[in-house]
Amino acid sequence: MALKLVIIGGGSSYTPEILEGIIQRQDTFPVNEIVLVDIEPGKDKLETIGNLGKRMIHQANANINLSWTLNRREALVNADFITTQIRVGGLQARSIDERIPLKHGFIGQETNGAGGIMKAFRTIPVLMEIAEDVQEICPDAWIVNFTNPAGIVTEALLNYSNHKKVIGVCNIPFNTQHSTAELLDVKPEEVLIEFIGLNHFIFGKKVLVSGKDRTEEVFDRLIHRETNYTPANIMPLDWSETFIQSTKLLPNPYHQYYFQTETVLEKDLQSYQENGTRAEVVQELEKSLFELYQQPNLKTKPKELEKRGGAFYSKVACSLMDSIYNNKNDVQTVNTQNNGTITDLPADAVIEVNCVITKDGPKPISIGKIPSPVKGIIQNMKAMEDLTIQAALSGNYQDAYNAFVMNPLIQDEKKAKVLLDELLEAHKAYLPQFKQ
């Protein structure tokens, strides 16, 4: 049987990771056609990745026909799965998202604060177009979206596009599960963390190891700094005993932006002066990755790719697609529609949640109420995400301003305008909807 995967943003430096994941799963998830899609400015990178991919497939003796194209609509014909990993405006745009807020004394980050909102403004319209193409050309296909801000983008597609088979993924839950397993010296499959929240804003409520509650032990060892599940893009910071013991929740590395704002800002400003922002560090990293990828004797995914914050994202994506294909009914943490799973969030909100993965997609496992300490901030973040989506779709200035001023990392009525005006101007080439 034919099984076709289309990777949109195929020229990304991350692509060898997903190719490796597919090659390793040939027995259970027999993808036999992969098409990499990119746009004109990414043509050279696409070709480099395509040629490396061919060498990887040949080396592994896998039965996969790999090709690449700039024609997205053609690529989508007969697709079963589509992964989306695009960066509208490239790392250049990310650098602007990080630099402008920092310049005004705010956190500048890929998916948080003003930068995260701008990334959503640039990305949502493009993903909407992709989803409409999918609905028209291969309506039965699943879109697995990694494009950031993944939760917000997934919500925009599920609520406003005609294609409803969309799932958002991130490596944060995976990283947390794996580092917890390492800490407790057990296998990752034995660890089940009950998560609650949103993409890049989830908390761990409970840690079960083969059904046994070991939450307290994990809290204790986190306090004593025995574990660190921070991805490469975030500075590892400690959590105080009081924070962990009072909230009784396992934070994720992105929470430092909200609960250690001053410390992070100080450190970010310092590293910005020393090495530039993360986008600039990643630009250098990419340069050396692509030099490596061009070497004809490279036939596997190089270890250096693990220096990227998104390392292992494709393990998450591949096991998700494998479980859908095989109707595995296993539990994975993905971004999907709430529909009553968390009782104090809107039904149409996209949440990051443990789901049973079936051939009909993810079935969220009921959670109930949000724990009191973080109820307000999670509701606030969700409301801000919704404002962001409204503005991304309408291109209306007031809508955009509302998202900015209500963002917990901004919340300053005058500076919100300064930031928004400067960012809209800097990104205008990628914001056709804001022309007015």
Q: Which residues are annotated as a binding site for Mn(2+)?
A: 170, 200
Please state, in angstroms and rounded to a whole number, the distance separating the CA atoms of residues 351 and 202.
9
Can you tell me the distance from the alpha carbon of 302 to that of 289, in angstroms, rounded to the nearest whole number? 8
| Cα 74 from Cα 52, distance rounded (Å) | 22
C-beta of 7 vs 57, nearer to ligand G6P: 7
What does the alpha-carbon distance between residue 156 and residue 120 come to, in Å, rounded to a whole number?
A: 10
If the CB atoms of residues 384 and 416 are measured against ligand G6P, the closer one turns out to be: 384
Q: Is residue 308 a contact residue for ligand G6P (CB under 6 A)?
A: yes
**Helix residue ranges, H only, 76-169:** 90-103, 113-137, 150-160
What's the closest the beta carbon of residue 311 comes to ligand G6P, in angstroms? 7
Span from 15-23, 131-139, 162-170, 337-345 in contact with Mn ion (CB under 5 A) = 162-170
Q: For the stretch 266-279, what's the b/e string if a residue is b when 16 or more beta carbons lie within 10 angstroms of its beta carbon?
A: eebeeebeeebbbb
Binding-site residue ranges:
94, 148, 170, 200
Residue 151: which of 178, 103, 177, 119 has the closest Cα? 119
* AA letter at 377: I
> Does residue number 170 form part of the binding site for Mn ion (CB under 5 A)?
yes
Q: Are strands 142-145 and 33-37 parallel, antiparallel or unpaired?
A: unpaired
Tokens for 8, please give them. 């949109």
Closest to ligand G6P by CB, 110 vs 399, is 110
Number of residues this chain uses to bind Mn ion (CB under 5 A): 1
Any contact of residue 231 with ligand G6P (CB under 6 A)?
yes
- Distance in Å, CB of 210 to Mn ion, minimum: 28
Angle among Cα 39, 127, 287 to the nearest 5 degrees reads 45
Print the binding letters for residues 45-84 with ligand G6P: x by CB under 6 A, - otherwise.
----------------------------------------
| Residue 416 sits in the site that holds Mn ion (CB under 5 A) | no
In whole angstroms, the minimum distance from the beta carbon of 127 to ligand G6P comes to 15
Query: Does 176 interact with ligand G6P (rule: CB under 6 A)?
Result: no
Among 102, 127, 157, 170, binds ligand G6P (CB under 6 A): 170
Contact between 89 and ligand G6P (CB under 6 A)?
Answer: no
**Burial zone of 363 (CB within 10 Å; 0-12 exposed, 13-18 middle, 19+ buried):** middle
Q: Does 357 sit near Mn ion (CB under 5 A)?
A: no
Residue with nearest beta carbon to ligand G6P: 309
From the candidates 229, 254, 293, 401, give the one annotated as an active-site residue: 254
How many residues sit close enough to ligand G6P to count as binding (CB under 6 A)?
Answer: 13
CA distance 40 to 63: 29
Residue keyed to tokens 């909407």: 128
Q: Which is nearer to ligand G6P, 79 or 127 (CB)?
A: 127
Q: Which of 57, 282, 353, 420 binds ligand G6P (CB under 6 A)?
A: 282
Q: Is 154 in the site for ligand G6P (CB under 6 A)?
A: no
Residue nearer to ligand G6P on the CB measure, 68 or 146: 146
Backbone φ and ψ for 280, nearest 5 degrees, come out as -75, -35
232 scored as a contact of ligand G6P (CB under 6 A): yes
Residues 7, 75, 172, 387: which binds ligand G6P (CB under 6 A)? 172
Binding site partner of 232, from ligand G6P, Mn ion, none, Cβ cut-off 5-8 A by kind: ligand G6P
Q: Is the dihedral of CA 348, 351, 356, 359 positive or negative?
A: positive
254 flagged as catalytic: yes
Binding region for Mn ion (CB under 5 A) out of 17-25, 164-172, 282-290, 372-380: 164-172
Residue 291: partners with Cβ closer than 8 Å, 6 or more residues away = none
Is residue 250 within 8 A of residue 207, CB to CB? The reply is: yes
For residues 432 and 125, the answer to whether their CB atoms sit within 8 Å is yes
Determine the residue with CB nearest Mn ion: 170
Judge whether 8 and 146 are in contact, CB under 8 Å.
Answer: no
Taking CA atoms, 199 is separated from 144, 334, 370, in Å, by 14, 9, 15
Of residues 30 and 309, the one with the C-beta less far from ligand G6P: 309
**Cβ atoms within 10 A of the Cβ of 426, count?**
17
Contact assessment for residue 234 and residue 309, using Cβ atoms and an 8 Å cutoff: yes
Which is closer to ligand G6P, CB of 67 or CB of 283? 283
| Binding site residue list for substrate | 94, 148
Contacts with ligand G6P by CB under 6 A lie at 110, 148, 170-172, 231-233, 278, 282, 308-310
Contacts with Mn ion by CB under 5 A lie at 170
Active site residues: 254
